[in-house]
Chains A and B, each alone.
Chain A
Amino acid sequence: MKRAILSCIHGNLEAFDAVLLDLERQGAEAIHCLGDLVGYGPYPNEVVERVRSLAIPTVQGCWDEDIVEGLNACECSYPSLLAERRGRLAHRWTDGVLTADNRAFLAQLPESLAVETAAGRLVFVHGSPSSAHEYLLAEMDAFMALERVLGAGADVLFCGHTHIPYARSLDGIQLRTVIAEAPDPQSIPGDAPPVDHTVTVPVRHLINAGSVGEPRHGRPHATYVLFDDESGAVELREVPYAVDKTCAAILERGLPMIFAWRLAKGLDYAERAEDASHVCAR
Chain B
Amino acid sequence: MGQVQYDPSVLGTGLEGLGPVVAVAGPSGAGKTTWIAAVLEQLAENADGPFRLQGDQAAIAYWTAGAIAVDRTLMQARWPTVTIWDDRHLAEHLLAKSEATPRTPGDGPTVVFLEFGFHLDPMASLPQLERLGGQRVVVLPPDGSLGPWDAWATAQVQGVEMPPEPQPPELLQLDLTGQVFDPLSLDTLWQELLGGAYGTVHRAKAVLNFADGEMFAFDYRRGSETVYRELPLEPCRVGRPDRPSALEVVGQGLNRPDLRLGLEQSALDDDLLMAHQHYLQTDLADGPRGG
What residues of chain A have their CB less than 8 Å away from a CB belonging to chain B? 79-83, 85-86, 256-258, 261-262, 265
Of B195, B255, B258, B265, the residue contacting A82 (CB under 8 A) is B265
Q: Are A265 and B195 in contact (CB under 8 A)?
A: yes
Q: Which of A82, A86, A258, A262 has the most CB of B within 10 A?
A: A82
Known: A81-B268, A85-B265, A86-B265. Is A257-B185 also a contact (CB below 8 A)? Answer: no
Is there a chain A Cβ closer than 8 Å to B1's Cβ? Answer: no
Given contacts A257-B255, A261-B192, contact A82 B262 (CB under 8 A): yes
B184 at the interface (CB under 8 A from A): yes
Which of B182, B185, B189 has most chain A Cβ within 10 Å? B185
Q: Is the interface of B mostly helix, strand, loop or mixed?
A: helix
Which chain B residue lies CB-closest to A89?
A: B265
In the complex, chain B residues whose CB is within 8 Å of the CB of A82: 182, 184-186, 188-189, 262, 265-266
Contact indicator A83/B192 (Cβ below 8 Å): no
The 4 closest A-B pairs by CB, nearest first: A82-B185, A80-B184, A81-B182, A80-B185
Q: How far is the CA of A265 from the CA of B266 in the complex (A)?
A: 21
9 residue pairs A–B, Cβ–Cβ below 8 Å: A80-B182, A80-B266, A81-B268, A82-B186, A82-B266, A83-B185, A256-B258, A256-B261, A262-B197
Using CB atoms, name the residue of chain A closest to B196.
A261
CA gap between A257 and B261 in the complex, in Å? 11
Interchain CB contact under 8 A, A81 and B192 = no
B266: nearest chain-A partner, CB-CB: A82
Complex CA gap A79/B187 in Å reads 11
A83 CA to B186 CA, complexed, in Å = 11
Interface string of B176-196 (1 = CB under 8 A from A): 000000101111110010010
Say yes or no: A81-B195 contact (C-beta < 8 A), given A257-B255, A257-B258: no
Contacts of B186 in A (CB 8 A): 82
Question: In whole Å, how far is B179's beta carbon from the nearest beta carbon of chain A?
Answer: 12
Contacts of B184 in A (CB 8 A): 79-82
Flag if B255 contacts A80 (CB, 8 Å).
no
Residues of B within 8 A of A83 (CB): 185, 188
- Given known contacts A256-B258, A258-B262, what 5 new A-B pairs fall within 8 Å (CB)? A80-B184, A82-B188, A82-B189, A257-B197, A262-B197
Residues on B facing A (Cβ under 8 Å) = 182, 184-189, 192, 195, 197, 255, 258, 261-262, 265-266, 268, 272
- Tell me how far the C-beta of A203 lies from the nearest C-beta in chain B, rounded to whole angstroms: 40
When distances are taken between beta carbons in the complex, the residues of chain A under 8 Å from B192 are 258, 261-262
Which A residues are in CB contact (< 8 Å) with B268? 81
Closest to B272 in A: A81
Residues of A within 8 A of B197 (CB): 257-258, 261-262
For the complex, give the distance between the alpha carbons of A81 and B184 in Å.
8
Q: A217–B255 Cα gap in the complex (Å)?
A: 27
Q: Which residue of the partner chain A has the closest CB to B255? A: A257
Question: Once the chains bind, are B185 and A81 in contact (CB under 8 Å)?
Answer: yes
Kindly provide the distance from the CB of A77 to the nearest chain B CB, expressed in whole angstroms.
14
CB distance from A70 to the nearest CB of B (A): 20
CB distance from B183 to the nearest CB of A (A): 8
When chains A and B are docked, how far (Å) is the Cα of A258 from the Cα of B198?
Answer: 9
State the Cβ distance, A8 to closest chain B Cβ, in Å: 21
CB closest chain-A residue, reference B181: A81
| Closest-CB distance, A164 to chain B (whole angstroms) | 18
Closest to A261 in B: B197
B279 to chain A, nearest CB (A): 15
| Residue from A257, A258, A262, A265 with most neighbouring chain B CB atoms (10 Å) | A258
Task: Give Cα A183 to B79, complex, Å.
Answer: 78
A52–B265 Cα gap in the complex (Å)?
36
Whether the pair B265, A81 counts as a contact (CB closer than 8 A) is yes
From A258, which residue of chain B is reached at the shortest CB distance?
A: B197
CA distance A256 to B189 in the complex (A): 14
Q: Which partner residue on chain B sits nearest A82 by CB separation? A: B185
- How far is A82 from B187 in the complex, measured between Cα atoms in Å? 10
Which chain A positions have C-beta within 8 A of B262? Answer: 82, 258
CB distance from B220 to the nearest CB of A (A): 18
Residues of chain B with a CB closer than 8 A to A80's CB: 182, 184-185, 187-188, 266
Chain B residues near A79 (CB-CB < 8 A): 184, 188
- A265–B261 alpha-carbon span in the complex (Å): 20
* Cα–Cα distance between A77 and B189 once the two chains are bound (Å): 18
> Separation in Å of the A266 CB from the closest CB of chain B?
12
CB distance from B44 to the nearest CB of A (A): 40
Q: Determine the chain A residues whose CB is within 8 A of the CB of B185 once the complex forms.
A: 80-83
Q: Shortest CB–CB separation between residue B278 and chain A, in angstroms?
A: 17
Write out the residue numbers on chain B whose beta carbons fall within 8 Å of the beta carbon of A258: 192, 197, 258, 262
Query: Complex Cα distance A86/B184, Å?
Result: 14
Most buried by B among A81, A83, A257, A262: A81
Instruction: Give A259 Cβ to nearest chain B Cβ, in Å.
Output: 11
* C-alpha gap A85/B262 in the complex (Å): 10
CB distance from B190 to the nearest CB of A (A): 11
Name the CB-closest residue of A to B269: A81
B188 contacts across to A, CB distance below 8 A: 79-80, 82-83
How far is it, in angstroms, between the C-alpha of A86 and the C-alpha of B189 when the chains are bound? Answer: 12
Point out the residues of chain B lying under 8 angstroms from A85, CB to CB.
Answer: 265
In whole Å, how far is A264's beta carbon from the nearest beta carbon of chain B?
10
Chain B residues within 8 Å of A256, by CB: 258, 261
